[in-house]
Amino acid sequence: MRYIKRSLVQLFGYKVPRPTKDQLSPAVREIYEGKVGKLSKADVEAVRHEHKGTFFNKWQKRRWATLIFVNLLFVASFYFDVQLVEGSLTGARVIGFHFADLNSALQVALAYKHIVLNLVIGMVTVFLMWMLLGGRTFCSWVCPYHLLSEWAEYLHLWLAKKKIVKNHTFSRKVRSVFYIIFALLALLTGYTVFETISPTGILSRALIYGPGIALVWVGLLLLVEVFYSRRAWCRYVCPIGVTYGMVGLFSPVRVKYNAEACHHEGDCRKVCLVPHVLDLTIRGGAEDVNQDVAADCTRCGMCVDVCPTDSLTYEVKGLSKMLK
């Protein structure tokens, strides 16, 4: 229940309060009160160097390969007319099974005030699939805009390091406001406004059916993220993350944090695409020795890759225990 509460607080843009001393479990309290770290600073640097050489970017490479493969599957199926995968990420049929993006389906239902059976089937199929796979896993492992935004982020960070640009942040609560605005626009206008401007749908359709004028909008978004605000669309506007974050509340696939192994060097928060979910890695931030990262996590694996002491690991609830 605490996991669901923390997740909802973060999904709607609020900061999870640091646990009080009374809220800490005896085991984690003992760690925070008595441990500076089992390794010296020099040892941590040595482990970090070894870890980087062996594991760095392992999950990132797998994620990029998966994302590219999934999107090219749509392209190849359309180009060669094999009809294995028909449609786009917004709505598709995979070997005859209906798939409907949950946020797109919500927009359609609100706009047309009518739900057809195929839409229900597609929604249920996608809900079950992403519930099993992690919810916001969709964002980092499938969404084509996420990949472009990630590359744009590298350019932004390089420019910021050279002091050419400065990052501007906004309240994460604005994402909830946009969620409501897009829902009301669909309901009141009878038009799926968000789908018109969603870079996810625009890129998916452009890859499959060919480029269009809408790619100019995607380019403008990327320019804003490079020169003004790092990952602005995903962090402050896109309602897809909220929708799949809700699905992730029930997902068995999570990133688990172990406070005992952590040395609080902060590498994980520097690379995290949604760094607020890793506030529990700050000394005194976790309520228990082992704690799951909340559902706003995209399960991208960046923190798992970079952590030198393996304090952050993937876990599949239930299955992980069976495999031990």
* pLDDT tens, residue by residue, 219-231: 999 999 999 999 9
The verdict on pTM exceeding 0.85 is yes
| Tens of pLDDT, residues 231-288 | 999 999 999 999 999 999 999 999 999 998 888 888 899 999 899 999 999 988 999 9
Tokens matching residue 40 = 């010296």
Q: How far is CA 314 from the centre of its chain?
A: 14
Packing angle of the helix pair 144-161, 215-227 (nearest 10 deg): 30
Task: Identify the CA nearest to 317 among candidates 264, 248, 261.
Answer: 248
Model confidence pLDDT, tens digit, residues 49-95: 555 555 558 899 999 999 999 999 999 999 988 888 889 999 998 88
What SS3 state is found at 87?
Answer: strand
The pLDDT assigned to 144 comes to 97
Q: Which residues contact 43 (CB under 8 A, 6 or more apart)?
A: none
Consecutive H or E run containing 159: helix 144-161
Report the percentage of the chain scoring pLDDT > 90: 69
